[in-house]
Structure 1
Amino acid sequence: MIRWVWFGLGWFLIALGVIGALLPVMPTTVFLIGAAGCFTKSSPRFERWLLDHRWLGPPVRNWRERGAIPIKAKILAIGSMAGGYAIFLLAVHPWPWLALLVGGAILASALFVGSRPGR
């Protein structure tokens, strides 16, 4: 039963990844990496299909082999984090402690993304 949950989640993440490839404000790679992880737990056949896919496979293979994030994806990810944080601050008007907590989490995430190899 759990295997089918992982399998369904894998396909859901593939769908989000494909949508992300079409929409410039939504990430792609993170969903594909998640899908590969789900297929690892549910279907080696579909994991291999994803890894060997002409368009979807390279970012997942780069991540698995070198922990690499393409420079274009880094710029988009960090820019999206900054934009999302700005919208959060302007729209929500959070308490100062919440703004610092969220800002710290975003900063840590941006530093991690920025520290990964580019290719």
Structure 2
Amino acid sequence: MRMFWFLSGGLSLTLGGAGIVLPLLPTTPFVLLAAYCFARSSPQLHDWLLAHRTFGPMIHNWAEHGAIPPRAKWSGVIAMAAAFGLSLAMGLRWEILAVQGVVLLAVCTFLLTRPDGPAGKG
């Protein structure tokens, strides 16, 4: 089972790292998932991630305050809006658009209602 968590953490961290440069791929959720996975498989990688200059503060903000930095929130909302816009442009059936719209609206609501975290962090 440790290998599953280790591989999942590595994949999540890779996707989170790619999200730094790819506008439609969110960084924060993948880094949080990587921290969760590494906590179950590799204490060394978990500690490294918590001490990381870029990723560490966002993990601490989430763990201690349930907080997501404003920039990460708005990046997520923009990515979801772009994904929905792409679905519209592709002419997907209205049933699919309705389900996608409800799910994305729920995720956006959750995202935007999280606290920003302590001032100057994340």
TM-score by length of 1: 0.90
Once the two structures are superposed, residues 15-53 of structure 1 have per-residue CA deviations (whole angstroms, 9 ceiling, x without a partner) of 211121233332111111000010111122221111111
Q: Distance in 1 between matches of 2:100 and 2:22?
A: 25
Specify the alignment match of 2:120 in structure 1. none
Cα drift, residue 83 of structure 1? 1.3
Is 1:79 aligned with 2:71? Answer: no
* RMSD, matched Cα: 1.3
Query: Which 4+ runs in 1 deviate beyond 3 A?
Result: none
Partner of 1:103: 101
Paired position in structure 1 for 2:35: 36
| Identity across matched positions, percent | 38
Structure with the larger RCO, 1 or 2 (CA within 8 Å, 6+ apart): 2
Structure 1 residue 109: deviation in Å?
0.4
User: Are 2:113 and 1:115 aligned?
Assistant: yes
State the alpha-carbon separation in 1 of the partners of residues 48 and 21 from structure 2: 21
AA partner of residue 4 (structure 2): V
Q: Which runs of 5+ in 1 are unaligned?
A: none
In structure 2, stretches of 5+ residues that fail to align are 118-122
AA aligned to 2:104 is I
Letter of the 1:25 partner, please give it: L
